[in-house]
């Protein structure tokens, strides 16, 4: 399947879809079954899904990068196509209203092609409003989309109960989705290898980012989230958003959190590299070791919240073993000391969105609470086969949090000299995606790096 304006590289959507094409019909059938149940449970006759519209900058004629409605791209691998609609009535072939203008300012979408085409009744539109001719006017429609996608008579109503059901089930990946996610890992891993090279070659953050993008086959605007490329102490800012063009005088450490996308499915990978300093290298290696142990514990029926709390205990063990904090790890967790060094959650579900939906809700949209004192955990569900979650522990030296720790009774147990030394390196995060199966987990990220050799 060749998508609009995209070069056919070794892992272009054309190739990726080819390698996963035999899995597509079963995927579509799963999506239809989920939608059939959601509609019948909540009294709807049809599901309409808008791909979305291109949004313009304020008082400007320049668009923001188009980001498709995730509920649209789970039906078919179209991610660059505004003004399209899917209209599905249970028991019937879904209709795809496919916008293909005659446009000589931009490259227009190419004619639909690929395995998915035969599964849709495709109606080509030259004008977005023509879609109304192809949408059902009888019965009750659940219309999923942003408000600005509305057409006359078809304003998105986004019924919460329907969305809750679909969001909840999106956690369980189909074999087709897993195949695409494996490819997204491979693309991301290639980028990470190139980024590490650029770091050792003393490139700037912007230069390292460029190396990642070139190797991953992405531009800055089509990565699944903004890359975090942090040299030295910048690694202490969890979502560090800049990329300096000037290289620093020393390349002490690199924390790079960057992923890739294939047919709308994301990878989200973090690696931290040390360069010369033994204490920091030991810390990276210790966090990496704990991360692999935690990833290996992903199992059906495990409450992800328990794994998050276990992470605190393990990281507390690292702080103690490396002579950073002299306290029992359980005591560190209870008194909040581990949260000073690890102030985010263990991870989150991932798939069509990097932070996939329904990480903390049940099938009816009811909140599954976070453990008290852990407000940033994005996943509170019990693991089950088909789920893919990130496992991303970290230890950081964040000046504002360290200042707060200094004012507590636990401050006396901290080796401030070592903390001061490590602060120059920012922090460590190691992040993989792990697929929960019926048995041992599949570490999608480590497998992808191993394939690269």
Residues at the interface with Mn ion (CB under 5 A): 257, 268, 270, 390, 431
Give 159 or 393: the residue with its C-beta nearer to Mn ion: 393
Give 11 or 356: the residue with its C-beta nearer to ligand GLY: 356
Give 18 or 242: the residue with its C-beta nearer to Mn ion: 242
Decide: is 268 part of the binding site for ligand GLY (CB under 6 A): yes
Least separation in angstroms between residue 339's CB and ligand GLY is 17
Decide: is 432 part of the binding site for ligand GLY (CB under 6 A): no
Least separation in angstroms between residue 260's CB and Mn ion is 12
Least separation in angstroms between residue 390's CB and ligand GLY is 6
Q: Using CB distances below 5 to 8 A depending on partner kind, what does residue 225 bind out of Mn ion, ligand GLY, none? A: ligand GLY
Out of 164, 257, 263, 290, which residue is the one contacting ligand GLY (CB under 6 A)? 257
Least separation in angstroms between residue 51's CB and ligand GLY is 25
Give 39 or 377: the residue with its C-beta nearer to ligand GLY: 377
Give 164 or 268: the residue with its C-beta nearer to Mn ion: 268
Decide: is 433 part of the binding site for ligand GLY (CB under 6 A): no
Separation of alpha carbons 143 and 184, rounded Å: 30
Least separation in angstroms between residue 93's CB and ligand GLY is 38
Least separation in angstroms between residue 430's CB and ligand GLY is 11
According to DSSP, the β-strands at 95-99 and 121-125 are parallel
Separation of alpha carbons 182 and 367, rounded Å: 30
Least separation in angstroms between residue 235's CB and ligand GLY is 13
Give 302 or 354: the residue with its C-beta nearer to ligand GLY: 354
Give 156 or 393: the residue with its C-beta nearer to Mn ion: 393
Contact map string, positions 171 to 210, toward ligand GLY, x by CB under 6 A: ----------------------------------------
Q: Using CB distances below 5 to 8 A depending on partner kind, what does residue 11 bind out of Mn ion, ligand GLY, none? A: none
Give 20 or 234: the residue with its C-beta nearer to Mn ion: 234
Beta carbons of 253 and 280 less than 8 angstroms apart = yes
Separation of alpha carbons 16 and 54, rounded Å: 26
Least separation in angstroms between residue 354's CB and ligand GLY is 6
Decide: is 164 part of the binding site for ligand GLY (CB under 6 A): no
Q: Which H, E and C letters describe the chain, residue by residue?
A: CCCCCCCCCCCCHHHHHHHHHHHHHHHHHHHHHHHHHHHHHHCCCEEEEECCCCCECCCCCCECCCCCCHHHHCCCCCCCCCCCEEEECCCCCCEEEEECCCCCCCCCCCCCCCHHHHHCEEEEECCHHHHHHHCCCCCCEEEECCHHHCECCECCCCCHHHHHHHHHHHCCCCHHHHHHHHHHHHHHHHHHHHHHHHHHCCCCHHHHHHHHHHHHCCCCCCCCCCCEEEEHHHHHCCCCCCCCCCCCCCCCEEEEEECCEECCEECCEEEEEECCCHHHHHHHHHHHHHHHHHHCCCCCCCEHHHHHHHHHHHHHHHHHHCCCECCCHHHHHHCCHHHHHCCCCCCCECCCCCCCCCCCECCCCCECCCCCCCCCCCCCCECCCCCEEEECCEEECCHHHHHHHHCCHHHHHECHHHHHHHHCCCEEECEEEEECCCCCCEEHHHHHHHHHC
Beta carbons of 28 and 119 less than 8 angstroms apart = yes
Q: Which residue, judged by CB position, is nearest to Mn ion in the bound state?
A: 257
Out of 203, 392, 432, 433, which residue is the one contacting ligand GLY (CB under 6 A)? 392
Give 210 or 391: the residue with its C-beta nearer to ligand GLY: 391
Decide: is 431 part of the binding site for ligand GLY (CB under 6 A): yes
Q: Which residue, judged by CB position, is nearest to ligand GLY in the bound state?
A: 257
Q: Using CB distances below 5 to 8 A depending on partner kind, what does residue 445 bind out of ligand GLY, Mn ion, none? A: none
Decide: is 416 part of the binding site for ligand GLY (CB under 6 A): no
Q: Using CB distances below 5 to 8 A depending on partner kind, what does residue 115 bind out of Mn ion, ligand GLY, none? A: none
Decide: is 225 part of the binding site for ligand GLY (CB under 6 A): yes
Q: Which residue ranges make up the site for ligand GLY (CB under 6 A)?
A: 225, 257, 268, 392, 431
């Amino acid at each position: 399947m060749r998508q609009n304006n995209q070069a056919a590289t070794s892992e272009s959507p054309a190739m990726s879809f080819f390698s996963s094409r035999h899995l597509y019909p079963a995927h579509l059938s799963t999506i239809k079954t989920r939608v059939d149940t959601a509609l019948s449970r909540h009294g709807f006759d049809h599901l309409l899904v808008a791909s979305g519209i291109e949004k313009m900058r304020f008082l400007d004629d320049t668009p923001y990068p188009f980001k498709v409605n995730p509920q649209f791209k789970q039906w078919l691998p179209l991610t660059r196509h505004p003004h399209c609609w899917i209209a599905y009535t249970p028991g019937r072939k879904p209709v795809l209203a496919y916008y293909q203008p005659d446009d000589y300012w931009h490259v227009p979408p190419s004619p639909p092609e690929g395995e998915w085409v035969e599964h849709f009744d495709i109606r080509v539109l030259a004008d977005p409003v023509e879609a109304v001719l192809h949408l059902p006017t009888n019965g009750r429609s659940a219309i999923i989309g942003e408000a600005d996608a509305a057409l006359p008579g078809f304003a998105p109503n986004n019924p919460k109960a329907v969305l809750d059901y679909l969001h909840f089930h999106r956690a369980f990946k189909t074999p087709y989705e897993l195949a695409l996610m494996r490819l997204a890992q491979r693309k991301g891993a290639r980028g990470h290898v190139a980024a590490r090279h650029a770091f050792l070659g003393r490139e700037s953050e912007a230069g390292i980012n460029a190396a990642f993008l070139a190797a991953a086959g992405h531009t800055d605007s089509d990565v699944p989230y903004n890359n975090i490329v942090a040299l030295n102490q910048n690694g202490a800012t969890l979502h560090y958003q800049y990329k300096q063009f000037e290289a620093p005088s020393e390349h002490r450490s690199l924390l790079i959190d960057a992923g890739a996308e294939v047919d709308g499915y994301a990878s989200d990978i973090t690696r931290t590299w040390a360069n010369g300093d033994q204490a920091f290298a030991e810390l990276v290696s210790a966090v990496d070791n704990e991360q692999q142990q935690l990833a290996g514990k992903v199992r059906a029926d495990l409450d992800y919240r328990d794994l998050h709390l276990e992470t605190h205990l393990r990281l507390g063990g690292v702080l103690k073993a490396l002579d950073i904090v002299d306290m029992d790890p359980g005591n560190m967790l209870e008194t909040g000391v581990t949260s000073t060094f690890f102030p985010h959650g263990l991870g989150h579900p991932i798939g069509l969105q990097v932070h996939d939906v329904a990480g903390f809700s049940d099938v009816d949209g009811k909140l599954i609470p976070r453990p008290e004192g852990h407000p940033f955990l994005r996943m509170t569900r019990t693991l089950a086969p088909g789920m893919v979650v990130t496992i991303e522990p970290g230890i950081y030296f964040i000046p504002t949090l360290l200042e707060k720790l200094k004012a507590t009774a636990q401050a006396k147990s901290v080796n401030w000299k070592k903390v001061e030394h490590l602060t120059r390196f920012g922090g460590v995060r190691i992040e993989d995606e792990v697929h929960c199966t019926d048995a041992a987990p599949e570490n999608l990220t480590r497998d992808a790096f191993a394939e690269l050799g």
